[in-house]
Amino acid sequence: MSDANTTPRVALVTGGSGGIGRAVSERLAADGFAVAVHYGGNARRAGQIVDEIVAGGGRAITVVGDVADEVGMAEAFDSVEAEFGGLDVVVNTAGIMVLSPVASLDLADLDRMHRTNVRGAFVVSRLAANRLRRGGALINVSTSQTRLQHPTYAAYAASKAAVESLTLVLARELRGKDITVNAIAPGPTATPLFLDGKDEHTVERLAGPAPLERLGTPEDIAEVAAFLAGPGRWINGQVVFPNGGIA
């Protein structure tokens, strides 16, 4: 993953202190990337991830910012470029999920989700479109719920459907810049956030529909992100569904 000058490629992972974000940060570091682990509120956990990457011989820093705040995120991008000299890959894992039937949905929750998931995706994508070096990649994160239509997921799935549309259009808009733009849409994945509050029976029920008969792991998702960030240069303007065949 290094060029002739042994300069590592550089990645920014938004939401890098979360379950999938952490796995992506660690996988890209293992692939030789210098990694900026972004966090919105959990500085301690982001710092632990950086410490582990550095202890393993990698290069990593933390950056902070509200993904929906264009000024704060521009400063985060500035910090990455100042530390590592440029930016090649952005993996935008930051997002929130609130579940509710449509009939009883609290519109404040809808607004909060859309601020982070939709506006945040636009802010990060716009910055990436202007900052990534040639040969770079932007990878947004959606969800397989845009296809599964499970009850209580309407507001969350709607916010992620917007992310998919943004991704597909932006890939065409960046013609001539040699930057790929794709989305990953995971199925049920065993992150701490996903497992919180679920008993063993519920987890088994959610794992059942996949032909592989298990939940995904954060590492499964990181594998796809690493491919799109590195060798998968001919995949562009696509939504990839790492979900074990559930949809």
| C-alpha–C-alpha distance, residues 156 and 114, integer Å | 8
Closest CA to 10 of 47, 59, 50: 59
Catalytic residues: 156
Environment class of 112 (CB within 10 Å of its CB; exposed 0-12, middle 13-18, buried 19+): middle
Strands (E), the chain: 10-14, 34-39, 60-64, 89-92, 137-141, 180-184, 239-240
CA torsion 45-46-49-55 (nearest 10°) is: -110
* 3-class DSSP assignment, residue 216: strand
The answer to whether the CB of 68 falls within 8 A of the CB of 115 is yes
Give Cβ neighbours of residue 186 (< 8 Å, ≥ 6 apart): 20, 141, 143, 144, 216, 220, 221, 241, 242, 243
